[in-house]
Structure 1
């Protein structure tokens, strides 16, 4: 019975992700150049810090080449614009014995010059093989665009089924710092 419920839930996710996947497919909304530009505009927040890089110096010109190359490691999977806000989901290959990817759901606002005025990483998924990452990621992306509560899919609430790695009970996204922080950082 337990497996029947899991299969049923996965079937619903698959149907929802197929619908969302078609509706939000990045290629339908953005050219390859525009997708790359989206990544370049956020990569210093989304990407890993370079060697000798810190959150204070990551915008130094010395790191431009590093971040330009890092942006190429990401794929914009989904995109939606509503009013002045843009939503996108990017994926990247994650370290694993098998090829696995993580997905990052973002809500942002850029001014007329393309500079970020608002940036929020709403979710980061666990590492999944590509098909599962797309199914679950598109499901979560659709909920995010609709403004729905994603907390049922946080690790502490999702039971045995994995969806979102962050945020969780210890890590959240700080919009003012534009980065993930842990509760231990908050208590310093």
Structure 2
């Protein structure tokens, strides 16, 4: 089972047919993804299930429905065990960004965290879940596939929000402040914290 977010509403890829309540079900092979996105954005429907009989092919079939943007990001910890957050578009988020040519996804994740926050000396400690969300750019929907990594750093310098990317704040947040920030964040970020 995979979950792809449209805003905070899930599209769940599954092999199970369940009785519809606050969600709708469609066959993955014949779905009109544009209509699904519009329905999730414009109604109070809580989610959508896209069904296919082959669990191994669910994600690959779905990823063929829209152009993919590959990104890397980091859940970075400092020596006080605080998590590095950015504030962009009136929401708390974790730093991430699009992969560049000939760059490994680990290099992308580290570079993006550095560029968006000013933090240096990042070391990847382990991979985290991969997240999927649908966004619209220049009138076209795309699927962002973000590979996340846990990172550690001893950096104690000044934080610099990358304003050209719309980031207005960068902060190290302790466990309590992180939970508060998640109240004004994205569903795919909540699953990482």
TM-score band w.r.t. shorter chain = under 0.3
When normalised by structure 1's length, the TM-score is: 0.22
Task: Name whichever structure is richer in helix by fraction.
Answer: 1
Task: Name whichever structure is richer in strand by fraction.
Answer: 2
Q: Which has the higher contact order (CA 8 A, sep 6+)?
A: 2
Rg comparison, structure with higher value: 2
When normalised by structure 2's length, the TM-score is: 0.22
